[in-house]
Amino acid sequence: MKKLAMLSLGILMSLNSFSKELVRVGLVLSTGGLGDKSFNDSAYRGLEKAKKELGIEFKFVEPASPAEDEEFLREYADADYDLIIGTGFLMTDALKSVANDYPDKKFAIIDDVVELPNVRSLNFKDQEGSFLMGALAAMMSKTGTVGFVGGMESSLIKRFESGYEQGAKYINPNIKVLSVYTTGTNPFNDPVRGKENAISEINQGADVVYHAAGGTGMGVIDAAKEKGVYAIGVDSNQDEVAPGVVLTSMLKNVDVAVYNAVKDIQENKFTTGNVIYGIAENGVGTTEFEFTREIIGEDNLKKLEDIKTKISDKSIIIK
């Protein structure tokens, strides 16, 4: 009888495990897709972690152009996915339209705000991480001139530029900061133009160039390597793209925000509204300086840690 009871309990537990609904997440990547070593890759890593640790299922799609975004978002909604994620501010209008039409579905938008009762907006204090990049650039510059290459000129990328300039001037008030934005039809996935923009700044004396330009930034790093100056990556760890050339990367932990959103869905704790990740929330930061620790030097690294602490406790206010 005892053996039968244990067997029955085992069957019941097994049935319960199968009856638990599998959380399904749909991800629409921004133009450039996987392999950008930046924003898209980070979002994908967050879902890979959720699959491994939480047992969720996810699918992703790589639109050929932003014109396809709304179609793919609607397909996920029609297929009854539990969470639908749009990657990047260029997807804002499409996601807003779909979320309006599917008020019972849950959505998340990365890098913009959609004020709807079924949308979580995932945003980052890019200016905080960029302040650290500017400080490091100023520490490492011998010419007194550093550069910034942005993707599309927008309020979002302006945050990167502003933080970078403020950080550089925190270290050296007299430093010159050059800035250029990427024009054309694909400003976040145009490495050829990124390289041209970086070389232009290098020819004007910049010996450290920071990019906030997605796949376009691969051209910036290539230019730095070719011209014998330093680059700073963005979003994901790009240090290994050119070891010893890329000083560090401004990590924008999209993976953390995505994982947290999925976990909240699974635990029935999902809330909407604007969720903002800064240094204090492990939303932005630096890499571990795997290839450049000796190049930068321990004194400068200690200065960076001190600045990070001051940003977290609001001793340093970034505009």
3-state secondary structure of 152: coil
pLDDT at 137: 99
The pLDDT, as a whole number, for residue 33 is 87
d(CA 157, CA 151): 7
Residues of the chain where predicted confidence (pLDDT) is lower than 70: 1-20
| Strand ranges in the chain using DSSP code E only, listed in sequence order | 24-28, 57-61, 83-87, 107-110, 119-124, 145-150, 176-181, 208-212, 230-235, 246-252, 273-277, 284-285
Give the model's pLDDT for residue 35.
87
pLDDT score for 179:
99
Output the pLDDT for position 5.
34
Domains of the chain: 21-124+254-277 (3.40.50.2300), 126-252+288-312 (3.40.50.2300)
What distance in Å separates the CA atoms of residue 275 and residue 193, rounded to the nearest whole number? 33
In contact, 133 and 311? CB cutoff 8 Å: no
Predicted pLDDT at 14: 37
User: Whole-angstrom Cα distance, residue 236 to residue 42?
Assistant: 6
Quote the strand ranges of 140-207, DSSP E: 145-150, 176-181
Q: What is the pLDDT of residues 111-139, one digit of tens each?
A: 999 999 999 999 999 999 999 999 999 99
**pLDDT tens digit string along 143-183?**
999 999 999 999 999 999 999 999 999 999 999 999 999 99
